[in-house]
Structure 1
Amino acid sequence: MGRHLLVNNETLWPFAACAGDDIPALNVLLVKQLPHPCINAMPDKRTIDELIPDMPVGPIDKYRKSATFDWKQMKMFLEGEDCIRYQNEIWDLLEKDPLFARSVGTVSVNEMRMLVFQRVKRLSEYYFLTQEKLLENPMVYLWFFSAIGLYDWALPTKFLLSTQFFGGTIRSSGSKHHLDLADQSDRMELIGSFSLTELSHGSNVKNMRTTATFDPETKDFILNTPDIEATKIWMGNVGKTATHSIVYAQLYTADGKCHGLHMFVVQIRDTKTLLPLPGIMVGDIGHKLGLNGLDNGFLMFNNVRIPRQSLLNKTGDVTSAGKYTTPFLDPEKKFGASLGTLSGGRVGIVSVCAGNLKICVPIAIRYSAARKQFGPTNDKEIPVLEYQLQQWRLIPYLAAMYAIEIFSKQFMKYYLELNIGTLLKSDAVYLAELGKELHAVACSSKPLTSWLARDAIQECREACGGHGYLSVSRFGEIRGDNDANTTYEGDNNVILQQTSNYLLICRENKQNGVQITAPMKTVNFLNDADTILKWKFQATTAVQCYDAAIALAAYKWLVCYQLKESADKLNKESSSGKDGFEARNDSQAYFARSLALMFIEHTVLQWFYDCVNDPAVPPGLAPVLKKLCALYGLWSLEKHMATLYQGGYMSGRDPARLIREAIVQLCRILKDDAVALVDVIAPRDFILNSALGKADGEIYKNIFSSIMKTPKVMERPDWWREFCNKPVQDSLRGKL
């Protein structure tokens, strides 16, 4: 193997790439034994000051001095010494490397893709992901992904597509004779890709139409794209750089029988010339709304012969005589195993969206603290952060940023537990239940976080006024890059159905006398659904709503109520004579879809609540964290007010009034802490890369400086002669 410890794509877990002798070392790394990922020990003050430099002096010092907590202590508590040291090491190297210097002005798509390729190659030379680091702490993988992604999400995507999705899949799903390709991918002697989606099929994976037919005479597979609709499309790296791809195709034996979707590792370009191999049509799909540093492409095969050994044969194989064999008796289990390679993408997207919140919210908060407009008198302007509307627009997203940051780390911890346990062949029953629950959470957390980041970016952009529309604000870049997250790894509205299906099954099992005992405990409260449905809203003052337990209780009732409503709706549709497909389809809007979103919002709030109420939280940090938790809960809950009243949890005018009063009051209270709270989460200026959001708060100097660095900023246009030498023709005067 190369020096990189690559992530096993089936489990998104790097230890699958370890040699056999390394496996016993993992017994001490079961994730259950790791501390909470957002609760870290405090080193001495000297160490903290060494790792976390002071913020520069500037126009927003007033807010930093008004903070009710020590921001450095908060950063150390949430991220930990090891994470901060590791990410500082990465960012120090990138900031000193001329290859990673930030460009000024517009860069063409071709230049962008060349830069991303060169930077990915440099990342492979820095050896940030080593076996030693990953064996020491499994969370290093997340730290790396975040540190590089906050600079440019195209970088970790391109890097990990080749190493993780390509090399990792080969290691997890192939045999020994495939490993050389994975090793070459480690060394970047080839660039790998992953080809599943087709022009006419995305979410409906079973109906992919590319075929691989075994020829017993030549002992080859014939790989074919039957028509244009079966064109493989959207694959990262395929547009310009991939030399190899893992291709999903329907496997046919000579008797004409289809054995379902299987994976084949296929060379698509010459590694010396990057020209396509005979029978293969491959190209770039063109400019996208974002992430243009990643070359997404299309791929077609015209009866291309590939060796029998190209089949990644863990889930099924074909003998030299043409007989199909598989260790799975159940076709559904075989299908699920072959698609296990995709299960980590949604977990990754949650982390990406958490990262995008850590970019947009700090920019808008710092800008609002520095930007002064109007005031109580004509000669005194005040920062726009002092206005209630600005607080109401931005500070709930600040609370959401903390909620999602804590959730994403905890979620990754459970994901690592599943994958390490699978690798070590731990308790199969426990892992099966954990896998089901994790899948349900992934299918709802991706929609929640990608929509939340989408809305936060837009609100932050608008809250920064006209200056927010400048490219140097960075809002346009992250808006375009984030937008893909709402669709990648499944359309949000489609995959939410997986979560609601899981919840409906849990309810059915409970009604049949089966106790709900999920490993992550996200649904365990449903055992008490009958009691919870009798609860009523308890707060009588807005101040009582400052306790997140008020919102948490409302969410528990909300999920129980919506689950019953969805089950009743599904039964009603089924009783009317509709088949299962039609009944489920007609039970989505206002029922199952809403249920899935309420469930994941409850889960995020519950994990946030558990974290901030942990006894290990330092006393100086607990008050502000609890206010953030309460604000996030109330703000999320408010949009479900109609259902809370419809079901009888609330009545009269007071509950809605109290919740809204509490939201506004918490925004005002947290206003003085807002700048310090984003200082905790925001990356350094070089990574944040926003003229509006630099830590010094010198927004006007930074904006003007960025404008003056624009190429040809004060030159007349190249087409100036058109203005000077082309007057409007006399015949057109008076007609315009």
Structure 2
Amino acid sequence: MAPTPGGGNDGLWSDPPRGPLDAYRARASFSPRELQLFWEGEDTLRFKKAVFSALEKDPLFAGSRGADLSLEKYRELSFLRCKRVFEYGFFSLDNLDQSLLRLPALTYCLGMYDWSVGTKFALHLMVFGSALYSLGSERHLKYVEKVLNMEIFGCFALTELSHGSNTQAIRTTAHYDPTTEEFIIHSPDFEAAKFWVGNMGKTATHGVVFAQLYTPDGRCHGLHSFVVQIRDPKTLLPMPGVMVGDMGRKLGQNGLDSGFAMFHKVRIPRQDLLNRAGDVTPQGTYTATFKDARQRTRVSLGSLSSGRIFITGVCVVNLQQAVCIAIRFSATRRQFGPAGEEEIPVLEYQMQQWRLLPYLAAAYVLDHFSKSLLLDLARLYGGLLRGDQAAPQAELSREIHALAAAAKPLVSWTAQQGIQECREACGGHGYLAVNRLGDLRNDNDPNCTYEGDNSILLKEASKYLLNFLEPEEQDGVRFQSPLQTVSFLEAYPVVLGQRFQGTSVADWLDPTAPLAAYTWLVCYLLQSSHQKVSQERRSGRSDFEVKNSSQVYHLRTLALAFMERTVVQRFHTHVRSPSVPPSLRAVLGRLSTLYALWSLSQHTALLYRGGYLAGEQAGQALEAAILDLCAQLKDDAVALVDVIAPPDFVLNSPIGRADGELSKNLWGAVLQESGVLERASWWQEFSVHRPVVGSLKSKL
């Protein structure tokens, strides 16, 4: 084991148990304890340790996580576990500021244990609760307090049976009646039923419901959000006029009750309009906080950006757990080796390194990015709560919207592909449900869809980038970049003239090389996308047809490359900041460069097609550099996963346990399965009513 700076034990780092993984841990080039302290921070580490300790000691969390439970029982257990988390006081009104800072960490801890619990908690507190806080005003604080005390249980009802991504076509209505000072919430038909609403199936008592707001003069003022009571908190029976139900079993997260609802002329008080974007007077006059209707819509749907940013963190957590399992497995699973010698761990094989270590790098790089994007969102919300309507605040909102729209696809797809690669890298053992990679894969899968289908979301990011070359859509004013994510485009014409001059592995291992390549790539894709759009417009097509014909190979690729560049840039800057301890710079630098080169290598054809690369040597050197970095990181891999791995109780994977006793742990887990040694209950079917096929001997 690498030496621990300062010595001693502050209670934050627990040395892993001795076992087969010791050999790799002893070869680590850095102190895992030092990296963990730097990566998480002391306060977060102490908090996460307290959460994990509480869960492990609580009998309510000791049982099944859903595999062998009925749907009803699993959902009951998920609710009880969610309720117990509130009882622990991890989130407190008495210390609200600190609780808000800890909220993402708490949710991710619960998700590591079981995303049915983590998502249920997040939907109630982080989605429903934050929507009340950010979209409402002082008059809605009464609901926020009830959320925190679990007097009510919430959901976020935007999508409908017939509309999801196209939020502007949502058909639920809210007509204002000035005679009673009430809104009438109504679903015109079953296609307008709220659908795919987490927590709504069995447990939600209230929802933030999105509907088209109509004033008495017949004018529609667009999509707005309302607090609507769905069930009686004392009986959980539906309120009058509400038809609410459960959608049934899903591919994963079955402890979460996803549901639907229809509203038949349900009346709610005027004050239950969440009024940050606009309000209605008692007489029925609409008053807009923002004159621009598009800005009002962005404010109303701003909670979707926070949801997308939260999902990026969810996906990182899933990828981290899968990588932990696969790398610990690979460091202890021995297969083949030189003739006449002992079998070697499969982690020693270049193929296994190439399959897994880029995803280990991604687990670190994307973790940093998701946390930094969360800080950007906090900056935006701070301005909104201060009532800041200045131009820079609007530009910040647009930039974060674009980043969130591109980040969720990149990170959720990376996690999806990474978990599958980890599953396959663990061979047949990875397919065994008890080792949890299947659950991780299934629970992560919806992240590619909810809060916006990934491919649809990339249109939002590409539209933002395309505006750089189309200032007419910005009233002739080029937009600003408060977060500096598109500032490099100011040098757009100069960048397009640049070329990669290197030919060796060392040229690619220069950390600035992949960043320079990405800068050129985004500029090239922006130019080609703009040319494609302009060509389609000149052909006389409508704006819809133009955008529809320009997505594949152009705008979609542009948005992903832009997001990858942003991620690479932020981590490149981070690992070179003065805050990084000198003893950690080398390993973090290798992770940074590996992720950058590995991601960039997926665009090699474009780099050659556009002329940035020339000759065989440049591409061959890029591939060789990736393999070189994998080899450099191989001996650090186990220590790196020790830093980000949750306790064994939470990881819940026999082949991924920290002691590395792979065969022993897996054998014990299999023998503990219910009925594993029992005769089949249908054994009699084996010996009776056998089909008569005659004698084989008589036919020969």
Are 2:246 and 1:298 equivalent residues in the alignment? no
- Tell me the residue number matched to 1:539: 502
Q: CA deviation at 1:164?
A: 3.2
Q: CA deviation at 1:224?
A: 1.9
Q: CA deviation at 1:423?
A: 2.2
Q: More deviation in 613-622 or 242-251?
A: 613-622
* Preserved CA contact (<8 Å) 1:146 1:352: yes
Q: CA deviation at 1:434?
A: 1.7
Equivalent of residue 662 in structure 2, options 699, 721, 726: 699
* Preserved CA contact (<8 Å) 1:434 1:518: yes
- Tell me the residue number matched to 1:348: 310
1:585-624 correspondence to structure 2 within 5 Å:
585-624=548-587
* Preserved CA contact (<8 Å) 1:138 1:416: no
Are 2:336 and 1:336 equivalent residues in the alignment? no
Are 2:446 and 1:484 equivalent residues in the alignment? yes
Q: CA deviation at 1:426?
A: 5.4
Equivalent of residue 610 in structure 2, options 612, 623, 647: 647
SS at match of 1:344: helix
1:376 aligned partner, one-letter code: P
- Tell me the residue number matched to 2:155: 193
Go from structure 1 to structure 2 and tell me whether the alpha carbon gap of 1:276 and 1:427 turns closer, same or farther (over 3 Å shift): closer
Go from structure 1 to structure 2 and tell me whether the alpha carbon gap of 1:516 and 1:166 turns closer, same or farther (over 3 Å shift): closer
SS at match of 2:444: helix
Go from structure 1 to structure 2 and tell me whether the alpha carbon gap of 1:517 and 1:112 turns closer, same or farther (over 3 Å shift): same
Q: More deviation in 49-58 or 98-107?
A: 98-107
Q: CA deviation at 1:44?
A: 6.7
Partners of 1:145 and 1:643 lie apart in 2 by 39
1:500 aligned partner, one-letter code: S
- Tell me the residue number matched to 1:685: 648
Q: CA deviation at 1:252?
A: 2.5
Q: CA deviation at 1:544?
A: 2.8
- Tell me the residue number matched to 1:571: 534
Equivalent of residue 637 in structure 1, options 584, 600, 604: 600
* Preserved CA contact (<8 Å) 1:538 1:550: no
2:75 aligned partner, one-letter code: R
* Preserved CA contact (<8 Å) 1:369 1:675: yes
- Tell me the residue number matched to 2:135: 173
1:455 aligned partner, one-letter code: Q
Q: CA deviation at 1:199?
A: 0.4
1:185-584 correspondence to structure 2 within 5 Å:
185-378=147-340, 380-425=342-387, 428-509=390-471, 517-584=480-547
Partners of 1:436 and 1:419 lie apart in 2 by 13
Partners of 2:652 and 2:105 lie apart in 1 by 19
* TM-score normalised by length of structure 2: 0.94
Q: CA deviation at 1:240?
A: 0.5
Go from structure 1 to structure 2 and tell me whether the alpha carbon gap of 1:167 and 1:403 turns closer, same or farther (over 3 Å shift): closer
* Preserved CA contact (<8 Å) 2:92 2:99: no
Partners of 1:333 and 1:134 lie apart in 2 by 29
SS at match of 1:620: helix
Go from structure 1 to structure 2 and tell me whether the alpha carbon gap of 1:576 and 1:85 turns closer, same or farther (over 3 Å shift): same
- Tell me the residue number matched to 1:728: 691
- Tell me the residue number matched to 2:32: 71
Go from structure 1 to structure 2 and tell me whether the alpha carbon gap of 1:725 and 1:126 turns closer, same or farther (over 3 Å shift): same
Partners of 2:485 and 2:296 lie apart in 1 by 28
SS at match of 1:146: helix
SS at match of 2:459: helix
CA deviations on 1:551-580 (whole Å, 9 max, x unpaired) are: 111111111111111111111111111122
Q: CA deviation at 1:46?
A: 4.8
CA deviations on 1:149-198 (whole Å, 9 max, x unpaired) are: 21122223212322333333334434555433332222112211111100
Go from structure 1 to structure 2 and tell me whether the alpha carbon gap of 1:178 and 1:142 turns closer, same or farther (over 3 Å shift): closer
Partners of 1:669 and 1:176 lie apart in 2 by 56
Partners of 2:137 and 2:414 lie apart in 1 by 42
Q: More deviation in 212-221 or 696-705?
A: 212-221
1:33-52 correspondence to structure 2 within 5 Å:
45-46=6-7, 49-52=10-13
Partners of 2:92 and 2:645 lie apart in 1 by 26
Q: More deviation in 42-51 or 637-646?
A: 42-51
Go from structure 1 to structure 2 and tell me whether the alpha carbon gap of 1:593 and 1:729 turns closer, same or farther (over 3 Å shift): same
* Preserved CA contact (<8 Å) 1:539 1:550: no
Q: CA deviation at 1:512?
A: 10
* Preserved CA contact (<8 Å) 1:245 1:265: yes
SS at match of 1:692: helix
SS at match of 2:656: coil
1:687 aligned partner, one-letter code: V
Go from structure 1 to structure 2 and tell me whether the alpha carbon gap of 1:132 and 1:635 turns closer, same or farther (over 3 Å shift): farther
* TM-score normalised by length of structure 1: 0.90
Partners of 1:177 and 1:456 lie apart in 2 by 45
- Tell me the residue number matched to 1:164: 126
Q: More deviation in 558-567 or 516-525?
A: 516-525
* Preserved CA contact (<8 Å) 2:134 2:385: no
Partners of 1:584 and 1:594 lie apart in 2 by 14
Go from structure 1 to structure 2 and tell me whether the alpha carbon gap of 1:46 and 1:128 turns closer, same or farther (over 3 Å shift): farther
Partners of 2:132 and 2:584 lie apart in 1 by 46
Partners of 2:682 and 2:625 lie apart in 1 by 58
* Preserved CA contact (<8 Å) 1:87 1:144: yes
Go from structure 1 to structure 2 and tell me whether the alpha carbon gap of 1:651 and 1:481 turns closer, same or farther (over 3 Å shift): same
CA deviations on 1:525-565 (whole Å, 9 max, x unpaired) are: 11112222121113221133222211111111111111111
CA deviations on 1:207-260 (whole Å, 9 max, x unpaired) are: 111122234444443322111111110111110111111211222334433222
Q: CA deviation at 1:100?
A: 1.1
Q: Percent identity?
A: 51
Q: CA deviation at 1:134?
A: 5.5
Q: More deviation in 201-210 or 423-432?
A: 423-432
Report how many aligned residue pairs link the two structures: 694
* Preserved CA contact (<8 Å) 1:552 1:606: yes
CA deviations on 1:592-635 (whole Å, 9 max, x unpaired) are: 11111110111111111111222332222111211111111111
Q: More deviation in 386-395 or 421-430?
A: 421-430
Partners of 2:84 and 2:144 lie apart in 1 by 19
Partners of 2:433 and 2:287 lie apart in 1 by 56
Give RMSD over aligned pairs. Answer: 2.5
Q: CA deviation at 1:385?
A: 0.7
Equivalent of residue 55 in structure 1, options 10, 16, 37: 16
Q: More deviation in 507-516 or 680-689?
A: 507-516
1:625 aligned partner, one-letter code: L
Equivalent of residue 623 in structure 2, options 649, 660, 666: 660
